[in-house]
């Protein structure tokens, strides 16, 4: 049974850091791409970061590039999102999701993901 479970969210001040975890079950890290998305109140869910098949490719939304780092660990079967230099506009519910295809094409589109976690809230105070 495929499941993704996020954790690590919380309240942090502007400029602070958080590390989110996405525990994978039902498939090993690297077998499918995994991405992080986020949704702020009153806004549509948006793509944040992607780690590809076998963890060999990563990319980021322009809004987080240089501040966030995605990684994966086969031993813990977990995908991480290290978030540094946080800003109030990073406040959102953060979701991880498994891409239904190993191809990187369309990785910023929600409809290309078949399994989602329940989300973890990140709040950045100004």
- DSSP states of 48-71: EEEE-GGG--EEE-TTTTTTEEEE
Q: How would you classify the pairing of strands 3-7 and 18-25?
A: antiparallel
Looking at residue 73, its pLDDT comes to 97
Looking at residue 37, its pLDDT comes to 98
pLDDT per residue of the chain (126 residues) written in tens, 0 to 9: 999 999 999 999 999 999 999 999 999 999 999 999 999 999 999 999 999 999 989 999 999 999 999 999 999 999 999 999 999 999 999 999 999 988 888 899 999 999 999 999 999 999
Cα angle 52-94-11, degrees, rounded to a multiple of 5? 135
Looking at residue 20, its pLDDT comes to 98
Looking at residue 4, its pLDDT comes to 98
Are 97 and 51 a contacting pair, CB within 8 Å? no
Q: Which residues pair with 93 in a beta bridge?
A: 39, 121
């Amino acid at each position: 049974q495929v499941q993704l479970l996020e954790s690590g969210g919380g309240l942090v001040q502007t400029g602070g850091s958080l590390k989110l975890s996405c525990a994978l079950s039902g498939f090993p890290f690297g077998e499918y791409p995994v991405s992080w998305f986020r949704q702020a109140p009153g806004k549509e869910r948006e793509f944040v970061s992607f780690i590809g098949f076998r963890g060999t490719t990563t990319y980021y939304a322009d809004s987080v590039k240089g501040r966030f780092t995605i990684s994966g660990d086969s031993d813990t079967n977990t995908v991480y999102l290290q978030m540094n230099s946080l800003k109030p506009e990073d406040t959102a519910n953060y979701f991880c999701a498994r891409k239904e295809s190993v191809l990187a094409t369309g990785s910023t589109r929600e409809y290309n993901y078949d399994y989602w976690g329940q989300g973890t809230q990140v709040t950045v105070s100004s």
